[in-house]
A = this chain, B = another copy of it.
Amino acid sequence: MPESVAKRLRALEDREAIRELIARYGPLADSGDAAGVAGLFAEDGVYAVGGMGEAKGRAAIAALISGPVHQSLMTDGCAHILTSPVIELDGDCAVARCHSIVFRHEDGEWAPVRVAANRWVLARGAAGWQVARRDNMLLDGSGAARLLLS
């Protein structure tokens, strides 16, 4: 295989893998798969959720899903929506940016209870692409949230 073909295939596959990794978050979260969500992250990955603190490591991230806030959301009915990310690849590292929306069900209606900016730092390890850090901040007029997208 010519080197140029290998390099171009690899770049396409990397972008596809990262898009898939991010797309998996919503279905895993909404089906309550705490281990699955944690497994998107590296062992020492960090998930900083705007207004809800910072979870460091897979056990802490799994606890976000198995904890009372998320379980209450699931009982009511919820959807964690993520938009198709903008991806900057740099060898074995990448940064991706996208929006997220959490819809919560109540009395036959759904409300967008969180609309947020997301910045993902990703790294390729032995197990493939994983999330090193996800920062999530509410788009409520805060300049810090806008910075995540720039």
Contact = CB atoms under 8 A, between A and B. Distances in A.
Interface of A: 1-2, 4-5, 8-9, 12-13, 15-16, 19-20, 23-24, 26-28, 30-33, 74-87, 97-99, 101, 103, 105, 108-113, 115-117, 138-142, 145-147, 149-150
A110 B99 contact: no
Contact of A16 (B15, B23, B81, B139): B15
B147 A31 contact: yes
A56 B9 CA distance: 37
Given A33-B150, A79-B101, A79-B117, 14 more contacts: A8-B9, A23-B98, A26-B149, A28-B149, A30-B117, A31-B146, A31-B147, A77-B140, A81-B101, A103-B115, A105-B115, A109-B111, A110-B112, A110-B115
A112 B31 CA distance: 20
A104 to B, nearest CB: 9
B146 A30 contact: yes
A-B pairs with lowest CB-CB distance, top 7: A31-B150, A27-B149, A77-B141, A77-B140, A31-B149, A110-B115, A84-B84
Contacts of A97: 27
